[in-house]
Amino acid sequence: MRSVISSVKKSRTAGTLLAVVIFLQAISASAGWPQESAPPRIDEEFTKQETIYRGRGADGTRGYITSRGLSDYVALLPSGFCNTLAKLGSADRWLDIGAGAGLAILDYYNLAKCARRGVKARAVAMSIEDRRSDAWKKQAASLDANRLRYLTGKRLRHYSPEELGKFQMITDVYGGFSYTEDLSQFVEKVLSLLEAKGVFYTMLQGVRLENGKDQPDTAYQTELLDPASGDVKVCSWLKKISCVKVGCESSSEWAPTERINIRKVCSDVSVPRLKLLEYQSGAPPGRRFQLAP
Ligand SMILES: C[S@@+](CC[C@H](N)C(=O)[O-])C[C@H]1O[C@@H](n2cnc3c(N)ncnc32)[C@H](O)[C@@H]1O
């Protein structure tokens, strides 16, 4: 199978390709996981990724989409998302990780979609870079403090439990789940922020599908390997987490995509560790991880 990472590599020089192959062989040949810091090539990709986060398109840097509204979220997230949102009470809390401009939350506050008349949950939008619009600022100013919050300046993993509190629902549409270089730590953090019976709705494009209906010669964007370097589906990995119920809706309309819901059913959550093998900056990035033995 061809991956996005490998197809990008094709356009590089033979020397670079050889160095990458040697590096990958070195990791897989070593007993256990290498403990040293990320190798320089991955560091370079992280630096390029930062310019994507900060890029606004107009200034010549590569921008990315940060303005999906609630209808887009309904289309991209699993089928239960809109109903769960509509059932949230006014004391409940919704966290949108990687919210961009926070348009989905703004729509929720302003439209009748996915909401009960007059009842709105408290909502927190999180984005590495500040994408707040004037509309967001106006809406937030018109509400009681803490009904609408926008957190920016750092990644999910850098927030303490006290800073964030707990949530009944967490969403992520092309946010940290698609961009993080530490997928297992990211999922562990998300689950630690969920109340019991709370649910995480997310999606991932360019992955091996749970229903096996992948097109031949698919270019995968996020790849998971087992310790013997065999392919692992993202949903199979998620289903190994303790204390959760995972639902996956596979779709292969334009790219192999999983719509994922993870419900927390007890507190003793344990997420099987993944080690980052490769990271190719992009929107979203190409990533390859391997399950720890
Ligand atoms: C492509 S935008 C998507 C924005 C929005 N969800 C939408 O669909 O329009 C990616 C967003 O994810 C955020 N992001 C990426 N990694 C993150 C992380 N580890 N923690 C928090 N936010 C993250 C970025 O800062 C940005 O706001």
Q: What are the tens digits of pLDDT across the range 75-117?
A: 999 999 999 999 999 999 999 999 999 999 999 999 999 988 8
CA of 76, closest atom in ligand 1 = 8
CB 173 near ligand 1, within 6 Å: yes
Mean pLDDT value of segment 285-293: 96
For ligand 1, atom 21, the nearest C-alpha belongs to 155
Q: What is the pLDDT of residue 20?
A: 38
Q: Is 164 in the pocket of ligand 1 (CB under 6 A)?
A: no
pLDDT over threshold 90, residue 124? yes
Ligand 1: does its nearest atom lie under 6 Å from the Cβ of 175?
yes
174 lines ligand 1 (CB under 6 A): yes
97 lines ligand 1 (CB under 6 A): yes
Question: Is 46 touching ligand 1 by the criterion CB < 6 Å?
Answer: no
> If you take atom 15 of ligand 1, which residue's CA is the nearest one?
176
Give pairs for 282-285: CB < 8 Å, separation 24+.
282/4, 282/49, 282/52, 283/52, 283/62, 283/64, 283/65, 284/174, 284/178, 284/179, 284/205, 284/206, 284/221, 285/45, 285/49, 285/178, 285/179, 285/221
**1 — pLDDT class (breaks 50, 70, 90):** very low
Q: Which of 65-74, 125-134, 141-150, 273-282 has the lowest mean pLDDT?
A: 141-150
Secondary structure class of 148 (helix, strand, coil): strand
pLDDT at residue 24, rounded to an integer: 37
Q: What separation in Å is there between the alpha carbon of 34 and the centre of ligand 1? A: 29
CA atoms within 13 A on the CB side of 259: 15
Report the predicted TM-score, pTM, of the whole model to 2 decimal places. 0.88
- Report the pLDDT value the prediction gives residue 4, as an integer from 0 to 100: 52
Cβ 284 under 6 angstroms from ligand 1: no
- DSSP string over 34-86: --SPPPHHHHHHHHHHHHHHH--STTSS--------HHHHHHHS-TTHHHHHH
CB 133 within 8 A of CB 121: no
Q: Is 5 in the pocket of ligand 1 (CB under 6 A)?
A: no
Q: Is 198 in the pocket of ligand 1 (CB under 6 A)?
A: no
Distance 16 CA to ligand 1 centre (A): 30
Q: 238: closest CA among 173, 162, 289?
A: 289
CA of 53 from ligand 1 middle (Å) equals 8
What are 260's strand-pairing partners? Answer: 202, 248
Residue 39 preceded by cis peptide, ω within 30: no
- Our CA angle for 78, 158, 287, nearest 5°, is 55
**Chain mean position to CA 134:** 26
